[in-house]
Amino acid sequence: MLTRFAPSPTGYLHVGNIRTALICWMYTRSQNGKFLLRFDDTDFQRSDIKYINSIIQDLQWVNIDWDLNFKQSERFERYNEVFLQLVKEGHIYTCYETRKELDIKRKLQLKRGLPPIYDRSALFLTEQERASYEQEGRKPYFRFKLDRNEIVKWDDEIKGKINIATSHISDPIVRREDGIYTYMLPSVIDDIDFNITHIIRGEDHIPNTVAQIQIILALKTKAPTFAHLSLLHFNDNKISKRKGGLDIRLIKKSEIEPITLVSYLAKLGTSDPIKVHVDMQSLIDSFDIKKFSSASTQFSLSEVYKLNSKALQKMPFKAVKERLNQIRVNSSEFWYFIRSNIEKFSEVAKWWQICKSDIEPVIFDKEIIKIALNVLPQGDCNENTLSEWVKAIRKVVDTKTKDLFMQLRLALTGTKTGPELAKLLVFIGRERIVARLKKVKDK
């Protein structure tokens, strides 16, 4: 098996792209196949190296690897060769309409209730008409001539049996008037030259598949297997209005862990439950293309956030050791304690600081804090210290346990909420507890 992910580097990746890449990659790896990363950058006016770099970084970030990568811009000679062959064989024809003229044609068709399919008028131009267009300074553009009486059929691995009449589709433009190849032809040439066996992509490409199968036939080759994924829909208005949905940069900024994102995207729209997977291998092992539904798929950012807490809760110390080192946290005990109490990794630093650095205690009732200081159990703090301590305080002063807990929490952490106080005391340590209470007492 040989598959490819073929982004156009004309923008940043969004979650829909990562989902396609991931599903394609998991499918390949589950079959011990090879995975190709191809940059569809024939449109050099819109393509940018900054997008190529960012796509590479994003794929690496989610741990998707590839066996080979290349840019289409390196293969223009090959595209020219095949293009000329198809022209010679009569599969490609020259057109002269301007974009404006095409637009007017389309609008008129729609007005008359006709499908906006290209009318092939360029096929009937006389030599004289062509020459006069050229003289006017018009540059030709080129279309692939679909076989009009065909029903293109394929057995889609997700959508099932598909039959589409070519009469529903315009002859695709393969080369623009500025000489730029559209995605249509180079994609087919590369898929053939690199022996791609499976093409997994969004269902928005179904009309392209119809045209591309015909180009493949014109090139006397066998079509690969296709799988068209249903598109993602965003239940958040703000996201769905953004072009392309949710940008991966935003996901990173929201501190979603890569394993959270892939665990979510790998199972979204499948018959499997969505849960956190420990690593990519576990996703590969549970992959089955047949589990993907052809119905539309809802993406929920709040579900991703929830899953992120679960991902952190499961994360072993060795997986975060380096990141913890960067924020000068070197205790595995602390990680195993705090990981169940956070939604984002950056909260580790906050709680480490609360435990180990100076904080601003919040005073509630000075008298109680004075008493608490006097009866603080001797010796190092352990997980029982708090209950012993509360008992001792309540022997001296009659106060509700719940209120007492809150006062101690505020005095020792400066915040109202947080991880279990009994465990926090262990990490704060007796010396700091005394210092903090004294600070409150002396205020």
Site residues (CB under 6 A) for ligand GLU? 6-8, 40, 183, 187, 201, 205
Query: Which residue's CB is nearer to ligand GLU, number 43 or number 171?
Result: 43
Q: Which positions ≥6 away from 134 have C-beta within 8 Å?
A: 140
- Closest contact distance (angstroms) between CB of 157 and ligand GLU is 14
CA–CA dist 368, 314 (Å, integer):
39
- Closest contact distance (angstroms) between CB of 28 and ligand GLU is 14
- Closest contact distance (angstroms) between CB of 187 and ligand GLU is 5
The residue at minimum Cβ distance from ligand GLU is: 40
DSSP-assigned letters across all residues of 276-298: --SSHHHHHHT--GGGB-SS-EE
Say if CB 35 and CB 66 are below 8 A apart: yes
Query: Which residue's CB is nearer to ligand GLU, number 10 or number 271?
Result: 10
Query: Which residue's CB is nearer to ligand GLU, number 13 or number 86?
Result: 13
Query: Which residue's CB is nearer to ligand GLU, number 208 or number 399?
Result: 208
- Closest contact distance (angstroms) between CB of 201 and ligand GLU is 4
Closest CA to 231 of 207, 251, 201, 273: 201
Query: Which residue's CB is nearer to ligand GLU, number 206 or number 363?
Result: 206
- Closest contact distance (angstroms) between CB of 227 and ligand GLU is 11
CA–CA dist 62, 142 (Å, integer):
39
* Structure tokens belonging to residue 130: 């062509």
Query: Which residue's CB is nearer to ligand GLU, number 33 or number 140?
Result: 33
Query: Which residue's CB is nearer to ligand GLU, number 211 or number 354?
Result: 211
* Structure tokens belonging to residue 295: 């119905």
Alpha-carbon Rg of the chain, whole angstroms?
A: 31
CA–CA dist 313, 316 (Å, integer):
9
Residue 35 bridge partners (DSSP):
3
- Closest contact distance (angstroms) between CB of 102 and ligand GLU is 22
Sign of the Cα torsion 353, 355, 359, 364 reads: positive
CA distances to 31, 32, 198, 301, 392 from 28, in Å = 5, 6, 9, 27, 64
- Closest contact distance (angstroms) between CB of 5 and ligand GLU is 7
